[in-house]
Amino acid sequence: MSEQAQGWSTDEVVALLQKVELFQGLPDADLRGIASIVSGTTLAEGEVLFEEGDPGDSFYIVYSGAVEILKTRPDGSEEKLAVRRGGEAFGEMALLNDAPRSATARAQADTQLVSVARDDFQTLLGGDSIALRMMRVLSKALRALGVRFATTGKAPPLAVPPAAAPADPNQISREIQRALMPSGAPRVDGYDLAAGTTMEETGLGGSMWDWIHLADRRSALVTLDVRTPGLPPAHQVGVARAVLRTVARQASTVPELLAAANEALADTGLEGTGQFVEAGVLVAGPAGLEWGSAGRVPAGLIRRDGTFEEFGAHGPPLGMMGGFRFNAQKFSVGAGDTVFVLSHASPGLFMGAADLMAQLHGKPAGEVVRTLHRAIRKAQGDARAETSVLYARKH
């Protein structure tokens, strides 16, 4: 392998970049910016560019020749995953993080490559930006998924087994969903908190819960939900999760959090997908509870005396309408007062959940959520859909 001075004109590199799926749709000015940081690499036939497990620091585009991508099976044999030819790219994950290479790249013929170094690319993006950070989160989740399949000896989820029906296209979405969810709710003085998401074997992977710290260190429970077709729903949910975790560092209120996340998702969303994220945010603190939502997220408060108050919506789903100014509700709570949130539900299912919650007064928080999950799944019957639940009770 040898490095070579760039022998191509900017126009030639731009034309090559336009063929790469990662860069399709970018304005000419952006493509020229990328063209300004590329370098060249040559390989002889049979020469290895990098091996599985090597540090990854560059992304490659084949200018001429061909490169085969190989994976080592558990028994030590090689499996050919793909062949990249002129105008095709590989090694994209190296642009986002420094994790080891997940496969080996070897030249099938004498080959010329255009390469983009990660450090140069990230500088071009503007350093540690929100978009860059959320892409890193997704790349790590996808890489973790690949490692999981590799170590268990399973075929990639989108492969078609011989003489079998195509694999479930939502399997990878469910795997990402499960990898992103936290293991437990935070501890907040004065409250019992719990949360969970029903896991369906035929689910879309489009619903999850999470928790974050706001800038004032208050803890926020969050539901995220995508139910529209298009990209794997867990992709959209994962992006929203990463954005919320990032903007929370500068947000001290629920409206600030939702507005900042909405702007980021509106700016980075893919036009035409129609996949927007419905989000509910519940913050528990010494002064009481704060609630806000993006989209229709059913939520309500059950007082100790049995009175019930249903919360309203506070704005459109995240990413749908840039520049929207969200609002929120603040309310005081006394001992025994309970708030619960469902990521989505019909009016009948939500009111049934409220009736059940009133009967579970005094039960441990985790038991309440598990009981509600069982009731939801039973009510949904064969048309089960993943549903996330948030629960907060004042001591």
Tell me the per-residue pLDDT of 289-323, one tens digit each, with 9 for 90 and over.
999 999 999 999 999 998 999 998 889 999 988 88
Fold of 2-125: Jelly Rolls (2.60.120)
pLDDT above 90 as % of the chain = 45
Cα separation, 195 vs 193, in Å, equals: 7
Q: What pLDDT, on a 0 to 100 scale, did the predictor assign at position 274?
A: 66
The CATH homologous superfamily to which domain 171-394 belongs is PPM-type phosphatase domain (3.60.40.10)
To the nearest 10 degrees (0 to 180), the angle between helices 233-247 and 171-180 is 20
Task: Report the mean per-residue pLDDT for the chain.
Answer: 83
Stretch among 22-36, 135-149, 349-363 having the lowest mean pLDDT = 135-149
Chain centroid to CA 341: how far?
21
* Mean pLDDT on 36-42: 90
Q: Could you give the angle at the alpha carbon of 57 between the alpha carbons of 60 and 14, nearest 5°?
A: 35
Per domain, the residue ranges of the chain are 2-125, 171-394
DSSP assignment letter at 301: E
Q: Please name the residue that has the structure tokens 């999760």.
A: 241
Kindly provide the b/e burial profile for residues 213-249, where b requires at least 16 CB atoms within 10 angstroms of the residue's own CB: ebeeebbbbbbbbbeeeeebbbbbbbbbbbbbbbbbe
55: pLDDT strictly greater than 70: yes
202: pLDDT strictly greater than 60: yes
Q: What pLDDT, on a 0 to 100 scale, did the predictor assign at position 339?
A: 96
Q: What pLDDT, on a 0 to 100 scale, did the predictor assign at position 80?
A: 86
Decide: pTM greater than 0.75.
Answer: no
179: pLDDT strictly greater than 70: yes
**Better-scored residue on pLDDT, 32 or 165:** 32
Q: What pLDDT, on a 0 to 100 scale, did the predictor assign at position 271?
A: 54
61: β partners: 89, 114
Instruction: Extract the runs of DSSP E, i.e. beta strands, from 26-124.
Output: 38-43, 48-50, 58-64, 66-72, 78-85, 89-90, 104-107, 111-117
* Mean pLDDT on 323-329: 93
